[in-house]
Amino acid sequence: MPDPAPCGFLVLDKPAGLTSHGCVSRVRRAYGLRRVGHGGTLDPAVTGVLPIAVGPATRLLPYLAGDKTYRGVVRLGLTTSTDDLEGEVLQHQPVPPLDQASLERALEPFRGAIQQRPPQVSAVHVDGERAYARQRRGETLELAARSVTIHRLELLGWNQPTAELELTVHCSAGTYIRALARDLGAALGCGGALARLRRLRALGFGLDQAVSLEALPQPLLDPLVALGHLPQQHLQADQWDSWRCGRALAASQPHGPESVVAVLAPDGNLAGMARAVAGGLLQPKLVFDAAG
């Protein structure tokens, strides 16, 4: 019997200058596989945590925790077409005298649940097409603001001579740090753009688990490592065939309506994902090694 296809996660420390898709291509070559996907696009200039799913683990990406953590530098005194230093400078403005206290006051409205307008150059879909593709054709888009949550926004330092402040941001999926830099600059009346950014955590993975592209191939992380935020149900031997056929099974403990549960095979490996439904049942949503 042939060996089973690799299934698991790889955490890359993405270098600057490479797209997320380019990283996926490098992983495909390193492992000799086509079925590879990434979780959460990083702009080419951004470095840090890029989770990569290999083999059947690509089907688990929608179930991973969405929050992300970044460390970045915002430069005040300018606005650009992309809200970072990669774009065309649209305007220079003088930066007022600022100190820690005034910056903290300016940051406060950005903490918690906020409305945020994505950058013109973003992966947001507009009429079925990515915003960045339309922007490259010279279109100016009116992107609608979206609800995002900034759980933690910490000022790490301020350098008045360079007009740069350093931040740590822990935020929900869909938050743009470039947009935060733009809006903070607008609030201070001088404009702002993202100068540097490094992602520290994404989808439950951190830099401590990350490897460089040059170190590939590496052993893959067990899929269960990525699902620790979810409740689990361990199948008994007499439930195995029924699960593989996609039949609902009795939950071993109460779950809230529509809760997602990781289901483990009798040998302890991940068997798939289920959703809690009425009657104390778990309905299979994703079944590895399905029968038939």
* Domain chopping of the chain, boundaries: 8-65+203-225, 68-202, 230-287
When pLDDT is cut at 50, 70 and 90, the band that residue 140 belongs to is low
Cβ pair 119, 179 in contact under 8 A? yes
When pLDDT is cut at 50, 70 and 90, the band that residue 270 belongs to is very high
Q: How many CA atoms lie within 13 A of 150 on its CB side?
A: 21
Residue 225 burial (C-beta neighbours within 10 Å; 0-12, 13-18, 19+): middle
When pLDDT is cut at 50, 70 and 90, the band that residue 1 belongs to is very low
When pLDDT is cut at 50, 70 and 90, the band that residue 243 belongs to is very high
Which class is domain 230-287? mainly beta
Q: What is the pLDDT of residues 51-65, one digit of tens each?
A: 999 999 999 999 999
Q: What is the pLDDT of residues 78-104, one digit of tens each?
A: 999 999 999 999 999 999 999 999 999
Q: Which positions are catalytic?
A: 43
Q: In DSSP terms, which residues pair with 169 in a beta bridge? A: 70, 153
Which class is domain 8-65+203-225? alpha beta
Q: What pLDDT score was predicted for residue 6? A: 83
Q: What pLDDT score was predicted for residue 126? A: 45
Comparing CA positions, the residue from 198, 176, 182 lying closest to residue 77 is 182
Q: Is 88 left (phi over 0), alpha (psi -120 to 50) or beta?
A: beta
Q: What pLDDT score was predicted for residue 70? A: 98
Cβ pair 51, 203 in contact under 8 A? yes
- pTM score of the predicted model: 0.90
Residue 234 burial (C-beta neighbours within 10 Å; 0-12, 13-18, 19+): middle
Q: Do domains 8-65+203-225 and 230-287 have the same CATH topology?
A: no
Cβ pair 32, 230 in contact under 8 A? no
d(CA 117, CA 147): 9
Name residues whose C-beta falls within 8 Å of residue 137's C-beta, 6 or more positions apart in sequence: none
Name residues whose C-beta falls within 8 Å of residue 254's C-beta, 6 or more positions apart in sequence: 280
Q: What is the CATH number of domain 68-202?
A: 3.30.2350.10
